[in-house]
């Protein structure tokens, strides 16, 4: 790892930690703001699913903080305890966002379908990429093709990170539009929900940009070694 890339990596680590801290701070802040409707995250999720004509998705509670996610394999909206039982802006925003993914699934949203198709390749790549890259760096002068294989594997995870961006932004768009149309929130509550979801999206943006920069770094090392041959 070159000194320049190490510095860039540390900058991205710092940005990632800052964004994660800000997200947690926003979630905590808006968790103290009750919604006008008084509905819990579970109730919000169930209503959004029903309003979108989705009746085969179950809303369940899972352990963890901000562990919320939609699982297309078993059609479940999984909400963390604070979101599942919370009747506040944070809970409403997160619950509606995860249901946004369920709506994407029901509507065959192309970016979600692409991300789902990439999952097996990403799982395969993730298990091997760090070892292949390490071996490629160590053997760069005698077997540069190994590093190329690592670059390709890392490229798969990078593509996945990039494809995730439109999926996440669209889910938030659907969530906020639904919350606005149903009048479950006052305008100031809606603005806070939008702010919370924006910071959540920024975690994916930082991860994607960091992945692209890392991919380019390894690609430059490979090209440099090939040009020396």
Tell me which residues are annotated as active site.
Answer: 98
71: left (phi over 0), alpha (psi -120 to 50) or beta: beta
Assess contact for 205 and 165: CB atoms under 8 A: yes
74: left (phi over 0), alpha (psi -120 to 50) or beta: alpha
Assess contact for 161 and 215: CB atoms under 8 A: no
Dihedral (CA of 31, 34, 37, 38) sign: positive
DSSP letter (8 states) at residue 27? H
Token pair listed for 203: 């975690």
- 43's CB contacts (< 8 A; 6+ apart) are none
């Amino acid at each position: 790892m070159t000194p320049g890339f190490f510095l860039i990596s540390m900058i991205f680590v710092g940005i990632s930690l800052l964004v994660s801290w800000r997200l947690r701070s926003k979630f905590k802040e808006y968790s103290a703001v009750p919604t006008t409707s008084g509905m819990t995250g579970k109730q919000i999720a169930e209503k959004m699913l029903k309003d979108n004509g989705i009746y085969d998705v179950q809303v369940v509670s899972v352990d963890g903080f901000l562990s919320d996610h939609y699982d297309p394999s078993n059609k479940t909206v999984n909400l963390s305890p604070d979101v599942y039982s919370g009747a506040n802006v944070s809970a409403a925003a997160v619950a509606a966002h995860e249901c946004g993914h369920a709506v994407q699934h029901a509507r065959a949203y192309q970016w979600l379908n692409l991300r789902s198709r990439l999952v097996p390749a990403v799982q395969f790549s993730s298990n091997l990429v760090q070892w292949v890259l390490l071996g490629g760096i160590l053997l760069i002068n005698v077997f540069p093709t190994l590093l190329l294989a690592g670059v390709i594997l890392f490229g798969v995870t990078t593509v996945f990170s990039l494809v995730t961006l439109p999926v996440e932004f669209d889910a938030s768009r659907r969530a906020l539009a639904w919350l606005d149309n149903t009048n479950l929130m006052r305008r100031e509550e809606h603005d806070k929900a939008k702010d919370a979801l924006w910071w959540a999206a920024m975690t994916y943006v930082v991860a994607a940009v960091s992945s692209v920069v890392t991919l380019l770094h390894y690609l430059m090392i490979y090209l440099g070694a090939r040009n020396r041959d």
